[in-house]
Structures are given as C-alpha cells and as structure tokens.
C-alpha cells in the first residue's frame, strides 16, 4: 500500500458511488481514497486531456481523431501501458459518438488546477472539473457552470449516483465560481464517457445535500479505523 492520507478526503465521483454503494463497496472506497494508487497507474489522464481540448477548442472531431491515432500508435512500455492506451483510445471513440449532446450551447475553457476542494463535515471533496462553462441566458445574463468527466468501462454511473455527483458539483460551482456569474444548473454536470450519458444538476437538491452531509460524517468517522 502507498503512504496513507492523513486527513479525510474523497473524489466527487467516488462520493457519488459511496452514496449508493453496499457496505462492502463503501469500505473499499474509503480504503481507496486513504491509500491512493500511484499516479503512474491512473488509466485515463490522456483521454481526459484530449476530450478537454476537444470541448474547449471548437468541438472539432479532428482533435479527438488525432489523439486517438496518437494513442493507438504509441509504443507501450508495459502490458499495463498497452491496456491504458487502448482504453483511452476507446474512450475517445465513445466520446465521438456522444459528442453532440455535450455542453453544445456553452463556451468551454479548461478548469484551473488550483480550484480548492469543497469541505463538508471535515471531508475534503475533490471535484477537479475538467471544463468551465459560460453561456448567456434568455435575459441576456451571463451564467456559469462546469463539467466533470467520468471514466469507467465496466462501472457506468446509475441515475442516483449521477444525480448525487451533479448536486455536489453544483454546490462546488456556487462556492468557487461566484465571480464568473450566477451558476446555471443546466451548465453543471458529469459526463459518463463510456456510457455516453450526461447527468445535469437537478433543481431539487436539499435531500441529496443532506445525504452528502451524512455520508461525509460517516467517512470522517471511519477514516482512522481503516
């Protein structure tokens, strides 16, 4: 195992899965967040970077096809690397199929890496959105939002998890993007790349936010027991 993280933290996507998971799944999520994998074993940074470039640079499919060819033609350094390259290329292919429905009416720009986590019940929730969004509403007012990419070939987000994640992202956007204009729930969401499905922040959020509070309290309590 890697060096454990001292303070409770969880990624926004893992929190969404925690909220709908079984007891065993919740325990695995806490362990996975407390003892994170080495960054070199992360599978999808290259795909996330390519999709972000695609969304922010005019949504030209040539961008995705270029990166897809680059990944498929790269020389892998190991079996894991070969698997990672193939998965990233497949993720870009899935994005090509579903690209039409992703933030079509908004202007996209890369999110700043320094956006601080959202703090809930002593737990740092890492949102790390890939894309910031801006659009003008029907009254001519500038609205803001953000998009998070989710990658998992074999564990797609279900409706409940997607709604939880989008709700937390909306709260994150309200706290971190207030200077960019009021947040529009329609501009806040998580895109499940392999499933080709976008979950947009729901209008009714209080019950879900209460669940998030309780989940974070539970994570904080169990953090030092694992």
Q: Give me the average pLDDT of each 10-residue run along the chain (226 residues).
A: 86 97 96 89 92 93 96 94 96 89 83 90 96 88 93 95 98 86 92 95 94 98 88
Q: Which domain holds residue 127?
A: 1-226
**What are residue 191's DSSP bridge partners?**
149, 198
**Tokens, residue 155:** 């564990």
- What's the CA gap between 174 and 61, in Å, rounded? 31
- Residue 98: C-alpha distances to residues 51, 102, 118, 179 (Å): 12, 7, 30, 31
pLDDT at 37: 86
pTM for this entry: 0.93
pLDDT at 210: 97
Phi, psi of 183 (to 5 degrees): -80, 130
Q: How many helices (H) and strands (E) does the chain have?
A: 7, 8
pLDDT at 81: 92
pLDDT at 39: 79
pLDDT at 35: 94
Number of residues assigned to the chain:
226
Report whether 6 contacts 34 (CB < 8 A).
no
pLDDT at 1: 52
pLDDT at 41: 76
pLDDT at 58: 86
How many domains does the chain fold into? 1
Report whether 88 contacts 71 (CB < 8 A).
yes
């Amino acid at each position: 195992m890697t060096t454990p993280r001292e303070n409770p933290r969880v990624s926004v996507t893992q929190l969404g899965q925690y909220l709908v998971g079984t007891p065993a799944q919740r325990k695995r999520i806490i362990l996975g967040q407390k003892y994170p994998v080495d960054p070199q074993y992360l599978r999808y940074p290259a795909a996330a970077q390519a999709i972000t470039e695609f969304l922010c640079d005019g949504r030209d499919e040539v961008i995705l096809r270029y990166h897809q060819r680059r990944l498929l033609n790269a020389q892998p350094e190991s079996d894991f690397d070969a698997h990672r390259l193939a998965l990233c290329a497949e993720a870009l292919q899935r994005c090509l199929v579903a690209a039409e429905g992703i933030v079509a009416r908004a202007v996209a720009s890369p999110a700043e890496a320094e956006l601080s986590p959202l703090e809930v019940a002593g737990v740092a929730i890492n949102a790390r959105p890939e894309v910031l969004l801006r659009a003008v509403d029907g009254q001519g007012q500038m609205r803001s939002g953000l998009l998070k990419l989710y990658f998992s070939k074999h564990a797609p987000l279900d409706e409940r998890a997607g709604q939880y994640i989008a709700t937390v992202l909306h709260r994150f956007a309200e706290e971190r993007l207030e200077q960019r204009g009021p947040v529009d729930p329609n501009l806040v969401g998580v895109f499940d790349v392999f499933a080709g499905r976008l979950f947009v922040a729901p209008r009714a959020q209080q019950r879900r936010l209460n669940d998030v509070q309780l989940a974070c309290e539970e994570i904080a309590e169990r953090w030092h027991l694992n």
